[in-house]
Amino acid sequence: MGSYIHTAGGPKLKTPTAIHNHREQNKDVDIILTRLKGVKAFQRFHPSLLLQICSCAFYEYLEKVFRQGDIGTSWYAVLSGSLDVKVSETANHQDAVTICTLGIGTAFGESILDNTPRHATIVSRETSELLRIEQREFKSLWEKYRQCMAGLLAPPYGAMESGSNNDRESLRCKKLQRGGKVMRNAILSRAPHMIRDRKYHLKTYRQCCVGTELVDWLVQQSTCVHTRSHAVGMWQALLEEGVLNHVDQELGFQDKYLFYRFLDDEEEDTPLPSEEEKRESEEELPETILFLAQIGPDALLRMILRKPPGQRTGDDLEIIYDELLHIKALSHLSNTVSLIPPLQHWTHVKLSLLLPVFNQGEEGTSWYIIQKGSVNVVIYGKGVVCTLHEGDDFGKLALVTDSARAASIVLREDNCHFLRVDKEDFNRILRDVEANTVRLKEHEQAVLVLEKSPRASTLGNIKYTVMSGTPEKILDHFLETMRMDTHHADPDDFVLMHCVFMPNSQFCQLLMAQYPFSPSDSLLFHSQERLEYAVTSKRRVLNLALRWSAVHTHHLQEEQAALTFLEELYGSVSSDSRILRALKDFVPDLEKVVKLHIDVKSQKVLLREFSNGDERLAQKQPIRNCDEILLKVYCSDHTYTTIRVAVAATGREVTSAVADKLASNDDLLLVHLSSAGEKQMLKPNDVSVFSTLSINGRMFACPRDQLNALTPLPDQEGPSAGSMSSFELMSSKDLAYQMTLYDWELFSCVHEHELLYHTFGRQSFRRTTANLDLFLRRFNQVQLWVVTEVCLCGQLSKRVQLLKKFIKIAAHCREFKNLNSFFAIIMGMSNPAVSRLTQTWEKLPSKFKKFYAEFESMMDPSRNHRAYRLTVTKIEPPIIPFMPLLLKDMTFSHEGNKTFIDNMVNFEKMRMIANTIRAVRHCRSQPFNPEVCQPNKNHAEVRGYVRKLCVIDNQRTLTTLSYRLEPRRT
């Protein structure tokens, strides 16, 4: 491609006299060598390779280099400046689009190896310094140092946009290298016997550790190391960096009697760490373990995916499967479970800068999921059309349609990691799914789609899982296949989720139709088989009805059709049980259900206020749809009227009640006014509008012409002074206990179906989510309490004491398994208004800083909050979970999957959401024991305090207060 070289501002092109004619002079070579070592891309090159590059390279200032389609004569690396990479589908530079930018340490011109045309036009964005190696010398270097240079040899489509990611990667490497030293020194300090000479099979291995002992030791050091496999991943991270090595240079760390050696022990005369080094390592150890705990799971997965498929153990496949469950790309697959059998076909790919994934027009050979990093999707003539991040996938369409790639994929940063399934394995997955799928049709239309389960049932029979179907057919299937002696999740999934696609009135009608004829029918006795079938069918209907009523609880009291169904079913069973003894066991259970619903329905609860008042000190009771509430609604002049409306009242009903109370003929608008003055118009059809109020928000009703005149009430601003003097004398443990007691009351009131209404939209169900809203408000309130107290504390020493107090309260909340308040406190401390107070944090003792760092690591959102999820799996109920994350999971499943596919219910989606609801059920599967912590004498004072937290909920106000405490440093 001939090189189109334009010099900048005169003859800046260096001729060979600048370098080439002085190759013999060591001084010149040293200068060039020093310069190359300053570029990160060259730092990993072998010294002998660098010396040869110095002896044959040219050094140039360039403004324009060469065009797409020409035959090149040299290879280039960027030493300074930046260049745009432009690609044209027609090879006409006028319609070329910029697809990426080359930065320092990147390279281009690899086509000189096989004399193919240049793939792109390179245009300098600024005066740039380049290193140039001519074709003959480059081929020679390539043959000799192929493996070492591979990272710099590729088309220019993977160039990074800046060097920032390289800086992060360099920092990570330095932290790993330092981490290896800290771990070695800590072992020599705490367990020196672990590093010693070992004899095995008549051979002596000097200064080695044993894999199992390293895992044992690490698990004992910190609670943030969750499992042995977690510890294996942490050691694997050090192994990949080369600071820990297997004595036979194997690439995977194993929890076995195998020998490993720290890099510092490779040399025979390495001195033992001094007392000062040991002391420093002891101080750094918690932070080092925390860092390794965060990156360990990724290293473990990479190690497993590098294994040949046949060598992966059952535990390996479980780890891969657990990883796949939380990958965004897989939530869009209708048959997630079908990925379980071919887990052994997933492989790991790491692509460094400039290594291409694929180009537009190429044949599709693999499907990729981004595990780490990001890529640009580039289409000729359009440029970058979108950016894909962690959890996204690409390449699937070309495999499914067997067509060419529709776009090019460009790496945006160095060291991207991918999960890959090759075409043959991907097609095998599709074939397996189709082969294991059974479709039931009526009138040529599919009404039920079943998939063969990969696991046989306990009796050895093949089990089929419902993937989709019409509501009626799904119900029929569950009744036909229900076994009375075991508990299956699928009927529970139906009972939990049917309100999404089948209202209770329809469910009751269909279920009653499945309750067969009366035993008084003479035809019944014509056949013993007919009798047995009838009894079995009745028992199945009764079993499902009891499960249904247990799940819906007080929600059934609000639907007359449901109560009528239960009463009718009870009457039928009472009558039938006189003849069919097999039904007698159901009579008392059904009688209890009917009596309970009648008794509860006769009760009427009047809630006095939702936002504030003495009722906070009373034991919380679940808020029901049929309950009523006294609600304050304000006018533009800050007067208010109190109305009595149903909990589920709509915006229209509230404004109507206000207009009646005020005797107003105006068309009123219903407005939620925040403490910051932000106005949110509430729609006439919005359900249960009172529970949408923010912590300091108020409900206003006014004519449209008064809307702009609305201003917040003075009491919406929140407190002007902190309450530290009130609670600093209270025990941190007592505060955490009373917070947990209150949170448990709120959490216990949340009905499982409120999670559904929140996810799918309560307007669709005409149901309140008031109990869930109260619980979520509590999370926000605790978070803002932390920020408010810190920002209202004017004395530096007192603020330090506050931070210590909150860290202690958070620790006790975790001890009480109250993860909701634990996270709220930590998130409050990480609020910008608090985190920016550097003088305060600097004064915090290092012990508390380490506690906070460990707590903060549990909030790490990477790998779909893996740190939190691993923590929860180790805790036994009762648990108060981090509710916002559970709601995020449900929203993720809802928005990523269609509710209906081909006019059938996507039951796989229902199952995914039901699994999250079951996680909530698991948390409440054991009662909270109030005797866990014996309260002190002042428990009433503590109880009253934690239930009446006064906060500022205006972030602008909090930020202003923060800057008054510690002005921005100039």
> Terminus-to-terminus CA distance in the chain, angstroms?
53
Greater pLDDT, 722 or 104: 722
- Mean pLDDT across 369-378: 83
pLDDT at residue 337 above 60? no
Residue with tokens 């190429």: 362
User: b/e for 10-43, b at 16 or more Cβ within 10 A?
Assistant: eeeebeeeebbeeeeeeebbeebbebbeebebbe
The model's pLDDT over 588-633, given as tens digits with 9 standing for 90+, comes to 999 888 887 666 555 555 554 554 433 444 567 888 888 888 889 9
What phi and psi values does residue 650 have, to the nearest 5 degrees?
Answer: -85, 170
What value, to the nearest 5°, has the Cα angle with vertex 300 and ends 295 and 305?
A: 130
- Specify which residues 378 forms β-bridges with: 384, 408
**Highest-scoring range by mean pLDDT, 218-227, 368-377, 445-454, 824-833:** 824-833
In the structure, what pLDDT confidence band is assigned to residue 713 with cuts at 50, 70 and 90?
very high
Give per-residue burial for 324-342: e unless 16+ CB within 10 Å, then b.
bebbbbbbebbbbbbbebe
The residues with which 77 forms a beta bridge, in sequence order, are 107, 131
Instruction: Give me the amino acid identity at 492.
Output: D
Cα separation, 452 vs 462, whole angstroms: 7
- Can you tell me the distance from the alpha carbon of 890 to that of 752, in angstroms, rounded to the nearest whole number? 12
Domains in the chain, ordered, with CATH?
22-91+98-160 (2.60.120.10), 167-306 (1.10.10.10), 328-432 (2.60.120.10), 443-599 (1.20.870.10), 606-716 (3.10.20.90), 723-965 (1.10.840.10)
| C-beta separation of 622 from 555 below 8 A | no
pLDDT for res 214: 96
pLDDT of residue 720: 94
Using alpha carbons, select from 224, 382, 368, 219 the residue that is nearest to residue 295.
224
Q: How confident is the model at residue 1 (pLDDT cuts 50, 70, 90)?
A: very low
| pLDDT, tens only, 230-260 | 899 999 999 988 899 998 888 889 999 999 9
Distances (CA, A) of 143 to 33, 106, 136, 147, 891: 21, 20, 11, 9, 54
Q: Is the predicted pLDDT of residue 153 greater than 60, yes or no?
A: no
Place of tokens 């209770």: 504
Convert the pLDDT of each residue in 545-558 to its tens digit. 999 998 887 777 77
Average pLDDT over residues 429-457: 78
DSSP string, 780-838: HHHHHHHHHHHHT---HHHHHHHHHHHHHHHHHHHHTTBHHHHHHHHHHHTSHHHHT-H
Residues composing the chain: 970
* The pLDDT value given to residue 804: 96
Average of per-residue pLDDT values in the chain: 82
Q: How far apart are CA 917 and CA 469, in angstroms?
A: 22
| Pick from 71, 93, 101: nearest CA to 1 | 71
- Higher model confidence: residue 822 or residue 32? 822
Rg of the Cα trace of the chain?
Answer: 34
Find the mean pLDDT for residues 735-742: 94
Its pTM stands at 0.73
Q: Tokens standing for 842? A: 């600097």
Distance CA 819, CA 833 (A): 23
- Please tell me the predicted confidence (pLDDT) of residue 96: 74
